[in-house]
Amino acid sequence: MRAWEEVRDNAYDDGRPSNAILAFESRALARLSELAGDLAGGRYQPAPMTRVSIPKPDGGTRLLAIGSIEDRIVERALLDVLDPVVDPTLSPWSFAYRRGLGVTDAVRALATARESGSAFVARCDIDDCFDSIPRWPLLRRLRELVTDAELVALVERLVGRPVTGERGSGGRGLHQGGGLSPLLANLYLDSFDRALMRQGHQVVRYGDDIAIPVADRPTGLRVLELAATEAEALSLRLNADDQRVLGFDEGVPFCGQAVTATSGPAADAQAKPLQGTVFVTTQGALLRVKGERLRVEDGDRLLANVNLKRVRQIVCFGRVGVTSTLLQRVVERGIELTWLYEDGQHSARVAGLDGTDPELRLAQYRTADDDRRALRIARHLVAGKITNMRVGLLRAARTQQAPELADRHSRLAAARQSALTADNTAELMGYEGSATRDYFAGLSQILGPQWGFTTRQRRPPPDPVNAMLSFGYTLLTHEAVAACQLAGLDPYLGMLHSPRRNRPSLALDLIEELRPVVVDATVIRLARTGQITPMNFTLTDDQGCRLDDHGRRTFLEAYERRMLTLVHHPAEKRRIPWRHVMLAQARTLAAVLTGRKPEYRPVVWR
């Protein structure tokens, strides 16, 4: 039904719908019931496609192959099933035909590569890409991801449809105009991306339009030769007339824009919220209220003076005092007030009465007590975490020639598939633990020996990287507790983490998919840019490695910037900051628990 509604809406958006659409609409329920029965019974056979030509904006025409209404509905429904399986396996620098990504993201990636030291770009494209892709190797790749043989066979029948009045293509080509073609093309070309990444080269790709950042022109020429070789290995060929090595000084045309030495969006787009977080790190500071202003004072010094309307939460570290008037005001206004120890461990929290939904809480308790239902949610939580760890490694190691890192990427992809089919929570946690060890070993290699980081250790953290990770995870857990309560959930009863006294197990569940995206990405950026160095830490026998005051302030600023970075959220269908993603995911989980949504979908980094 959802697929039909989208096909119908697209037809109306294009102008007056065809007679075929109107005829189908007149008895849509009966036709959809027949179509579903044919699919379930194995009787469905797609019809031949029709060739149409449409004018291009810049002149000329584009030839498309259009399927029947029934076939378009089936393709649309298949896309909803296949996209969550295929998309997380793709390179983070593949930008075409992916929900929430587009030209701006592709241009931003190229500008970011420029800022990371690349002075030139090897430019090329694949000749007759859609028409040249061999179907059998493509389907073999799809079978590696999709274990349902009938589903793959259905895709094979749709891909192999003839076009009325035209000769067969000899097992080659994806129909331009077919609903599945963009997804399948991305899946096939991902092998090209991976092959060049294994040799230390980042491929920024928009469909078949390719840009590979390099340090100098000779390297660019060698990369074009490598690209031609890898394309040939996939039975494709590069366009011989469009292979160039261009410098940013002269301008690099890409996706209809010119990226120069100074142009192009480079920074992550960030939200400008009406309300923000106030972090108070000065020991002995006092928080009070004067009128409608929050004042942070240290003796006679005024450290901050903020309108209360602009404050969504206050986080205090160590010995920070508050007046009774402030306590009353934050409770009245629903402002979160939290104390953390200086090392970031949670100390106390003040909040108003929760807007609890008893029916939702009962649904949460019943689900947590049902091993089968809890496991279904837990699988997706772990799969989301592993997906984001893999993307995090790819992003962090985009220019490193390290075959072992490529092996880790493959193992993480396999671990994700295993997590989605785990038979019980113990097996699931085994896959999660193995993937996490692989991930942190790769992170250790990327950061280098100067940081002394070899593996994840928590209490006490023995090195600067572990200290920053622990600090960031504590902040993120605090955000997740607030998100759970705003969504009406009990933050202390989870689906993945077992219940334990005073442990916010559901909050820990929710942060799994966001750890690599928010905290780990912040740590990597701070370490690589030198904003924080090993000199910003002290080491003691009882408390381990700890940030100094300057390092803590720098980390908090970077963490807050990351939390305000905008990202496309599939359920919200818009770009929202990572902080709001946490609440959106808590509400998604609430909808799953009460049966308003069929399945929990993690947010994946792309």
- Which residues contact residue 365 at a Cβ distance below 8 angstroms, ignoring those fewer than 6 apart? 490, 493
> How many alpha carbons lie under 13 Å from residue 286 in its C-beta half-sphere?
12
Under DSSP, is residue 301 helix (H, G, I), strand (E, B) or coil? strand
- Asked if omega into 460 is within 30° of 0 (cis), the reply is yes
Pairing of strands 120-125, 244-247: antiparallel
Q: How far apart are CA 4 and CA 97, in angstroms?
A: 20
| 342 among annotated binding-site residues | no
Closest CA to 231 of 260, 202, 196, 257: 196
| 497 among annotated binding-site residues | yes
Under DSSP, is residue 582 helix (H, G, I), strand (E, B) or coil? helix
Q: Position of tokens 């104390």?
A: 339
Closest CA to 97 of 186, 9, 7: 186
> How many alpha carbons lie under 13 Å from residue 228 in its C-beta half-sphere?
14
Q: What are phi and psi of 258, to 5 degrees?
A: -110, 120
Closest CA to 520 of 472, 565, 567, 558: 472
Bridge partners (DSSP) of residue 120 are 214, 247
E strands of 196-300, at which residues?
204-206, 209-214, 244-247, 252-254, 257-259, 276-280, 286-290, 293-298
Q: Residues forming the annotated binding site? A: 432, 497, 512
Q: Residues forming the annotated binding site for Mn(2+)? A: 432, 497, 512
